[in-house]
Amino acid sequence: MASDHTRSAILAAAERLYADRGFGDVTLRDIVAEANVNLAAVNYHFGSKDELIAELFVTRSIQTNRERLNELRAAEDAGGGRAAIEDIMRALVGPTLRGCLGPDREGSTAARFMIRASIESVPPIRRIKNREVDHLRKFAAAMRRAMPGRDDTELYWGLHFALAMAHHTIREKERLLRLSEGKCDLDDVRAIIDRVVTVSVMALTIGDMPSKPAARPVLVHGRLTRQDL
């Protein structure tokens, strides 16, 4: 392989276009035009369109996962093998949130691509995401060490909710901004991470929930009108 020029030009162009316009709207012809390479180059270098997308996503996922594990290990080392639960949750959601939010990141193609991958779920990306469970298990294990004796179920729910808040904030940041009329500062990533971590740790403390009164009966539907939406 003399030079990676074509290959990396395709990767860069594809990531930029996918980030900006989404997977559904970008064709291979768009990508090769942006990269100034021949149409056949994609299949030559990557095999297929799906493998190109997969390579993009895997690369970025590995980066995020590595950052997460680095933070986790640092926290565990600092705590003599057992990290504080706050730091574990911070290691879980911090890298993703830092990567996808913040004013300076607005121009980051990688971040915008990952947001897009989070919003539009296409088959090659879904296949990869399904393998993410092994990675999350490492965090579940760390949480178990940090909160020994706690029911595993609670751990999983806490981890799940932490990811929920982080990902939903990335996915729906525009809506939150509009809903709050700009009052929610989505550029202050530090504060957002703190907020998510705080709530996540809180969620982990509700061990045995009191049974609540039964949910109210579902009310009858009337005729649907457009105004209801």
Partner DNA sequence: GATAGTTTCATACAAATGTTTGAAATGCAA
Partner DNA sequence: TTGCATTTCAAACATTTGTATGAAACTATC
Binding status of residue 43 toward DNA by CB under 7 A: yes
- Pick the binder of DNA from 48, 70, 198, 205 (CB under 7 A): 48
Q: By CB under 7 A, tell whether 180 contacts DNA.
A: no
Q: How many residues bind a copy of itself (CB under 8 A)?
A: 87
Whether 176 and 184 have beta carbons less than 8 Å apart is answered as yes
CA dihedral 81, 87, 93, 95 (to 10 degrees): -80
Least spacing, CB of residue 222 vs DNA, in Å: 25
> Which of a copy of itself, DNA, none is residue 74 near (CB under 5 to 8 Å by kind)?
a copy of itself
Binding mask 186-215 for a copy of itself (x = CB under 8 A): ----xx-xxx-xxx--xx-xxxxxxxx-xx
Alpha-carbon distances, residue 78 vs 51, 72, 196 (angstroms): 40, 10, 22
Query: Counting contacts by CB under 7 A, is residue 50 touching DNA?
Result: yes
Q: Which segment (25-33, 103-111, 139-147, 195-203) binds DNA by CB under 7 A? A: 25-33
Read out DSSP for 140-197? Answer: HHHHHHHSTTS-HHHHHHHHHHHHHHHHHHHHTHHHHHHHTTT-S-SS-HHHHHHHHH
Q: Alpha-carbon distance 48 to 86, whole Å?
A: 42
| Residue from 1, 133, 214, 220 binding DNA (CB under 7 A) | 1
The residues that touch DNA, with contacts defined as CB under 7 A, are: 1-3, 5-7, 27-29, 37-45, 48-50
